[in-house]
Structures are given as structure tokens and as C-alpha cells.
Amino acid sequence: MDVDKPGPYVRSTEASVPPSLQSSRYSSMVMHPLALFALIGGLVSASSSVSYNGYQVLRVTTGANSAAVLKKLSSIEYDEWNTVVNEHIDIAIAPNQIGRFQTLALEYHTMHENLGVSIASESATRSTWKRQIDDLEWYDSYHPYDDHKAYFEALHEAFPNNSEIVSSGTSFEGRDIFGIHFWGSDGPGKPAVLWHGTVHAREWIVAPVVEYLTLQLIQGYGVDNTTTAFVDNYDFWVFPFVNPDGFVYTQTTERLWRKNRQPSPTSTNSTCYGRDINRNWPYKWDANPLGASTDPCSQTYKGIQAGDTPEMEGLHKFVDTLRDTSGLKLYIDWHSYSQYFLTPVGYNCTYYIDTLGQHIKLAQLASDAIREVEGVTFTYGPSCATLYPTTGASFDYAHAVGKAQWSYLIELRDTGEFGFVLPPEQIRGSVMEQWEGMKVILSVLDEVFFDGDGPAAF
């Protein structure tokens, strides 16, 4: 339906420029005992071939003059981290761009004085790990990709009769897009809860969050009545690394890489790599020129046609299969950063889904529960009207094509103090607050708790 305007969606009380900075946007039964597993992984490496020593991350004020500010910024090379329309844009700039930026005379403040130092601190961890999956020390640091795979294998081993390791396809570099499927005592086949994580490679906080949620559901089954009911009522499908190639690349080569690792089409005559998987879904892929980029060097490059990434081939077919079998109850695409609960749609800032009122109310309830943990607040609202246009996006596909009753894109911590380079000290708080929010969401999926129609009720 079309509505003139949304309701008040508010917070609930050097070196050469690396590829990621070459172009701005504009140029996520009884339980068996928990298995002990050893993770003999390497150091989570920030000692990659791309050094961020001396890079700065800046929050540039735009206000109502976004076009003028962006025009000035187009004269320098930068990586856009985040945008809040009519407020600010967060950018990372190389040492050789800092002087040029200063000449633009823009209002700003510094988020990272030296990004290289921040990354080194974020990545500090021991090289040998022995963990039980319920040992919360796992959530004190970030981990290598292979260790994450081992963690999910251990989750399956802890719930062997009611879970399986599954795949939604293969990445460009041949990695399995693995996940875990688990269910309750009545067997599989209930309405599906589907979570996608690490769509954008540099968003490291996403994997620990979906791991912790999965752990709580499996560990609590048969122990906690509420958690047991969640797993009995729904089939859970959790894919922590939708973009495994990109994630590995952030750990070995370039920490701020976002896209997949697919070369540009030969027809573009570009040497840039990668497509934005969350601009590549085959729904409203070309609906808004501001929703994605046609430039292969852009962080939001959408590809030459919808669904032209190997990752997408499996992802959208998996959604279609769930739609045609058990049905899709809840879809969440996990991201960072900026602390948002975003609802469809992303492609049109003046169109609102018929169930927007219900979506917003549920987001509000979850946000209230999250705030009770450590006081962290989330903003909620329709994606395009609240943040910025996005086309070919996962949650729009899940809602419109996958027929998900509930569909969200959640942006995790923080609001910009650290951005993508969230300190390990904030992992525990992040995962715990999301579990409190998720308990609220899963408790009311089948309840008719709001009868309004659209944002006018707010």
C-alpha cells in the first residue's frame, strides 16, 4: 500500500589505496552432552597484505545538504562505511587523502584516529583454542573461518538426533555455504525460521551473534520450557557465512573488504573484484537507481544482471524451497553496524507493506528487550524511508517472493564509535542482548497482537 509518509520511527528510548577504497558508493528428545572440541587455528590475522596504518575513519555531517557534501567528497577517494540520510556519512580515508579532505572544509569528527591500531586491537587473540561450545570465553574474541566451521559442527554433535549440517550452495571460490538445520521432538517440517549472516564480509560481529542464538536454542532445548517451545514450533535454518570468500579475504588480505570475490564481467573492462550479494537478489534488482551501483569498483555493485553471483543461485532457490514446503515464518538478514531493525521495503521510500504496523510493533518489543541488557537502543522502521534505498535486497525477496510472514534486516552494534571494527570486549554484550530480543520475537510470531494497518497507527 502507499502512504504519504511514515510514522515516527524513533529509537526505543602511505600505501596505495586498497581495492575496498578505490570507489565510494557513489563514484548476517534430550539434548546430548555438549561436545568438547579443540580449535587449533591461527591467529585471527590483521597482518594482511593491506595495511590500514594511518587510515582515519571520519563521521562527516551532511544535514539537509547531503548532495553538496557528497559532491565535495567525490573529489577524494574514500570508503563509505555508513550513511544516515540528512544526518551524516561515515567514511574511511587513506593517509594520502587526509590533507585533501581537510581542504574541503566539511564538519566532521574522528571515529578512528588510526584504523590500523584499532584493527590490531580487534584481532588480538590466542592461536590455540580448546573450548566447549557453552564456554562463553569463545565470545571474548574473533575467530578464524575454519574455527567457526568447527563450532557449528560441535553444535550439531551436541544435538545429533535433531539437527543436520546443510548447504545452500557454493561460493565463487568453491567454499560451501554451510549452515545448521535443527528441530524439535516431533521431527522436521515445521514453519521455517531462516537466518543469513556475514553477507558483507567485514561485518565480523554477525557470526558470534548467530552462533550464540543457535547455542541458546540448542542448549536450552529440554531444559527451559520457553526455549523448548521455540524449537518444537519451528524449524531453524542458520547460515552464518553467506559470503565465505569475502570473510576469509578480510582475515588474510584486506580487513575492510565487503563484497564477494567474483571478478568483474569482461564486458565492463574493469579489474575490480566483487559483487554486493545483498544488491543481487532477483527481486526489484533495478527498481531504483539510488539502490545499488553499476560500477564494478563500487562497494554496492549489483552485477550485470539479477542473481549473477554463484552465492545467489543457491540462496534464492533455498528461500523458494522453504516457501513451497514448510513455509517461511521469519527471515532475518544480520548485518552491522548502526543498530537498526529494518522492515521491507528497501527499493521505494514512499511505499509501505500492508503488515508494516505489525512489523514495527514487533521490532519495538524486541528493541525494548535489547535495551534492558546494557542500555543499547535500536531504531526501527521501513528500510528505505528510515535509512537509504537498497535494491535487490534479501529481506525484500524473502517477504515478496519467499512469502515470509516476518522479514527483517538487523544492523547490529554500534552506532559508529567503532563501526565495523567493533572491539572484542563488546562481543558478549552484543550476543546477549540479541538473545533477549530474539526471545521476544519468537514468543509472538503466531500471536495477533496488533490489528492496525500500516504506519498511520504510529
Average pLDDT over residues 116-138: 77
Average pLDDT over residues 396-404: 99
- Contact at 8 Å (CB) between 318 and 181? no
Mean pLDDT of the chain: 88
We report the CATH number of the domain holding residue 81 as: 3.30.70.340
Model confidence at 370: pLDDT above 60: yes
Q: What is the per-residue pLDDT across 130-162, written as a single tens digit (0 to 9) for each? A: 667 878 889 999 999 999 999 999 999 999 999
Cis amide prior to 421 (ω within 30 degrees): no
| Domain-terminating residue out of 121, 150, 170 | 121
Among 211, 254, 411, 433, the active-site one is: 411
| Domain-terminating residue out of 91, 121, 151 | 121
Q: Is the same domain home to 358 and 418?
A: yes
Average pLDDT over residues 366-383: 98
Q: Is the same domain home to 376 and 450?
A: yes
Which of 309, 386, 301 is closest to 342 using CA atoms?
Answer: 386
Q: Is the same domain home to 332 and 431?
A: yes
Q: Is the same domain home to 146 and 117?
A: no
Average pLDDT over residues 87-106: 96
- Please report the pLDDT score of residue 157 as a whole number: 96
3-state secondary structure 245-302: HHHHHHHHCCCCCCCCCCECCHHHCCCCECCCHHHCCCCCCCCCCCCCECCCCCCCEC
- Contact at 8 Å (CB) between 41 and 251? no
DSSP per-residue string spanning 113-147: S-HHHHHHHHH---S-EEEETT-GGGGGS---HHH
Does the annotation mark 411 as catalytic?
yes
Q: Is the same domain home to 108 and 212?
A: no
Q: Is 288 exposed, middle or buried (0-12, 13-18, 19+ CB in 10 A)?
A: middle
Q: Is the same domain home to 55 and 109?
A: yes
- Please report the pLDDT score of residue 86 as a whole number: 87
In a domain, 449, yes or no: yes
Q: What is the per-residue pLDDT across 63-95, written as a single tens digit (0 to 9) for each? A: 988 899 999 999 999 999 999 888 999 999 999
Show the cell assigned to 223.
Answer: 531444559
Model confidence at 45: pLDDT above 70: no
Task: Find the angle CA(370)-CA(381)-CA(230) to the nearest 5 degrees.
Answer: 45
Q: Mapping DSSP to helix (H, G, I), strand (E, B) and coil, where does residue 85 land? A: coil
Show the cell assigned to 373.
Answer: 541488557
CA atoms in the 13 A half-sphere facing the CB of 421 = 28
In a domain, 51, yes or no: yes
Q: pTM of the predicted model, to two decimals? A: 0.88
| Domain-terminating residue out of 70, 97, 121 | 121
In a domain, 25, yes or no: no
In a domain, 281, yes or no: no
Average pLDDT over residues 337-362: 97
Domain count, the chain: 2
Q: What is the per-residue pLDDT across 423-450, written as a single tens digit (0 to 9) for each? A: 999 999 999 999 999 999 999 998 765 5
Which of 15, 48, 16 is closest to 247 using CA atoms?
Answer: 48
Q: Is the same domain home to 163 and 108?
A: no
- Domain range for 361 is 129-252+290-457
